[in-house]
Amino acid sequence: MTVERQPNLKATDPEVYDLIQKQANYERTTLKMIASESYAIENVLEACGSILTNKYAEGYPGARYYEGNEFVDAIENLAIERGKALFGCEHMNVQPYSGSPANNAVYRALLNVGDKIMGVPVSDGGHLTHGWKVSFSGKDFVQIPYRPNQETGRLDMDEVREIARREQPKLIWAGMSAYPFKLDYAAFAEIAEEVGAYLVADIAHINALIIAGVHPDPVPYCDVVTSTAHKMLRGPRAGFIMSKIEDRYHEKYHPTSKWNLAKLIDRGVFPTLQGGPHMHAIAGMAAIFKYAQTDEFKSYGAQIVKNAQALCEELKALGRAIAGGGTETHLLLLDFRKEEFTGKDASQALAKCGIIANFNMVPGDQRSPSQTSGVRLGTSALTSVGMKEADMKKVAGWIDRVCANIGKIDEVAPQIRSEIAEFCGGFKFPGA
Ligand SMILES: *Cc1c(COP(=O)(O)O)cnc(C)c1O
């Protein structure tokens, strides 16, 4: 039985309605293994679909540029208070429209155009906004790259230290989009301290693991921590920024400013970068920050890693190579460097069979970024619908079958696709 969620669209705008229904049907009959995706909880969907989308509230609670803010002030304050309790941070800003604007706000808050920053290139698992050339961050700032070791797939913190000493960046990003191992924030903090750089953790991909206590917590070590509220957190499509209150580099980098770090960050978001905050998304953030404090959410966070490890072990048992040999997080990289087919061939074949993922560079990749030798697989979405280790064994079996049949995928796809659709029928998909 499906609940009718969009009765008005259904009645008067069947074009939009039908496309939403098709996507919903697709999502409940396929395996969502894109590592950055999961399923937003029902409370988030309701908050995001509310009348709060109407309100203009430029500014911050208690200091807006528009009237009529009694209730939206209360909503934003609630999101901030819950978020601070959840992460134990000193300051939180919940207004960034998404993860990229959150990171952009940090640049605008702390740096000048032309400054040097350290980040991991996209081709090595980093994010666009950490200084990649085609992004604003690489156009306005100078990326000093550091990357995981090409053999081990892991960051070598001695190498990171060497690069930082040599280049003296003003800011160091710690956080990636395709890195299967834990980050050592204590080591990053020592390096940042030594060279006098801001340390910014970007936890968009791993926030639920931090909440669950299965990944180190960056908050005590970093000047600033940025995140998305969607991805594995299961919240609205939005971003948020946490920071310390005091700017430890006030004398060094902002001697004439009258603002502390918290105020610099707030100013970086509004008015430097954004206008009116998305109040419906902020209400969704308040909703997910409540749910994320429950034991149920913490078990979900821990289960994500157990599932990724179970998937990884089964794939290895089936003879598939995994970059770096394993995972400590929600994601793993299938390594096709020794195969005839590319990462792109594999991701397209997987999609035909109902396994939705993305092709991705792996450490030591000789193929181009548009072909690659890897596929990135994440377990957040599957875990959010209740899948466990035994289910991962089945998923690994399908992935292996697809990889073994890339050359004749159109012959085997209908059978695998229907097995997966039937399997998915046993789980409940929020909102779909
Ligand atoms: C996804 C991601 C972001 C940006 O998020 P968007 O909401 O897509 O702009 C930032 N940093 C990292 C590490 C990410 O993986």
Q: Tens of pLDDT along 323-366? A: 999 999 999 999 999 999 999 999 999 999 999 999 999 999 99
| Catalytic residue of the set 10, 46, 58, 267 | 58
**202 catalytic per annotation:** yes
pLDDT of residue 1: 44
Active site residue 56: yes
Q: What is the separation of C-alpha 223 from the centre of its chain, rounded to a whole number of angstroms? A: 20
Distances (CA, A) of 24 to 2, 21, 157, 192, 388: 11, 5, 43, 45, 22
Question: What ligand 1 atom has the least distance to the C-alpha of 175?
Answer: 13
CA distance 91 to 331: 29
> For this structure, is 156 an active site residue?
no
Contact 91, 268 (CB under 8 A): no
**CATH 3.90.1150.10 holds for 21-40+302-424:** yes
**Rounded distance between C-alpha atoms, residue 238 and residue 67, angstroms:** 24
The DSSP bridge partners found for residue 171 are 117, 198
Ligand 1 centroid to 420 CA: how many Å? 29
Strand partners, 118: 144, 172
| Res 2 pLDDT > 70 | no
Distance of alpha carbon 83 from alpha carbon 238, whole angstroms: 14
Q: Do 21-40+302-424 and 55-291 show the same overall fold? A: no
The DSSP output letter for 53 is: G
Residue among 5, 10, 46, 56 flagged as catalytic = 56
Overall pTM > 0.75 = yes
List of E strands, 349-394: 355-356, 358-360, 374-378
Residue 414 CA from chain centroid, whole number = 32
Protein residue closest via CA to atom 4 of ligand 1: 99
Joined tokens for residue 54 = 């109407």
From 84, 237, 316, 401, the catalytic residue = 237
In percent, how much of the chain has pLDDT > 90?
98
Distance CA 114, CA 116 (A): 7
Amino acid at 314: E
Name all residues whose Cβ lies below 6 A of ligand 1.
36, 98-100, 103, 127, 129, 175-177, 202, 204-205, 228, 239
The residue-averaged pLDDT of 392-401 equals: 98
Domain segments of the chain as ranges: 21-40+302-424, 55-291
What is each CA distance from 134 to 138, 157, 201, 227, 382, in whole angstroms? 6, 27, 22, 21, 32
Kindly give the distance from the C-alpha atom of residue 25 to the centroid of ligand 1, in angstroms, as a whole number.
26
pLDDT given for residue 3 in this prediction: 61
Note the CATH number of domain 55-291.
Answer: 3.40.640.10
The answer to whether 137 touches 103, Cβ cutoff 8 Å, is yes
